[in-house]
Amino acid sequence: MVKVTVWNEYRHEKKDEAVAKVYPKGIHSQIASFLTEAGIDTTTATLDEPEHGLTEAVLAETDVLIWWGHIAHQEVSDEIVNRVQKRVLEGMGLIVLHSGHMSKIFMKLMGTSCDLKWREAEEKERLWVIDPSPPIADGIGEYIDLDVEEMYGEHFDVPNPDELIFVGWYEGGNVFRSGMTYKRGSGKIFYFQPGHETYPTYYNKDIQKVIINGVKWAEPTKRNYPVYGHSKALEEIKPK
48 versus 79: smaller Cβ distance to a copy of itself: 79
Pairing mode of beta strands 143-153, 117-129 = antiparallel
1 versus 50: smaller Cβ distance to a copy of itself: 1
**Measuring CA to CA, which residue among 206, 106, 116, 210 is closest to residue 170?**
116
Pairing mode of beta strands 3-8, 175-184 = unpaired
Query: Exactly one of 2, 153, 198, 206 binds a copy of itself (CB under 8 A); which one?
Result: 153
**Cα 147 → chain centroid:** 22
Q: How far is the CB of 19 from a copy of itself (least distance, A)?
A: 18
**Which segment (9-17, 33-41, 56-64, 144-152) binds a copy of itself by CB under 8 A?**
144-152
Position 239 contacts a copy of itself (CB under 8 A): yes
Q: How far is the CB of 50 from a copy of itself (least distance, A)?
A: 27
3 versus 108: smaller Cβ distance to a copy of itself: 108
Q: How far is the CB of 137 from a copy of itself (least distance, A)?
A: 7
Q: Which residues contact 91 (CB under 8 A, 6 or more apart)?
A: 185, 186, 187, 220, 221, 223, 225
Position 157 contacts a copy of itself (CB under 8 A): yes
CA distance 115 to 91: 26
Angle in degrees, CA 198, 199, 205, rounded to 5: 145
Query: Exactly one of 36, 61, 138, 205 binds a copy of itself (CB under 8 A); which one?
Result: 138
Query: Between the CA of residue 60 and those of 4, 87, 107, 225, what are the distances in Å?
Result: 11, 8, 22, 14
Q: How far is the CB of 146 from a copy of itself (least distance, A)?
A: 11
* Interactions with a copy of itself, residue window 176-235 (CB under 8 A): 177, 182-188, 220-235
One character per residue 11-50, x = contact with a copy of itself (rule: CB under 8 A): ----------------------------------------
Q: How far is the CB of 185 from a copy of itself (least distance, A)?
A: 5
Dihedral angle computed from the Cα positions of residues 126, 130, 215 and 188, in that order, rounded to the nearest 10 degrees: -130
SS3 at position 187: strand
Q: Give the other-Cβ count within 10 Å of 107's Cβ.
A: 19
Assess contact for 129 and 138: CB atoms under 8 A.
no
Query: Exactly one of 2, 38, 72, 130 binds a copy of itself (CB under 8 A); which one?
Result: 130
Q: How far is the CB of 202 from a copy of itself (least distance, A)?
A: 19
Assess contact for 118 and 153: CB atoms under 8 A.
yes
39 versus 111: smaller Cβ distance to a copy of itself: 111
Q: How far is the CB of 26 from a copy of itself (least distance, A)?
A: 25
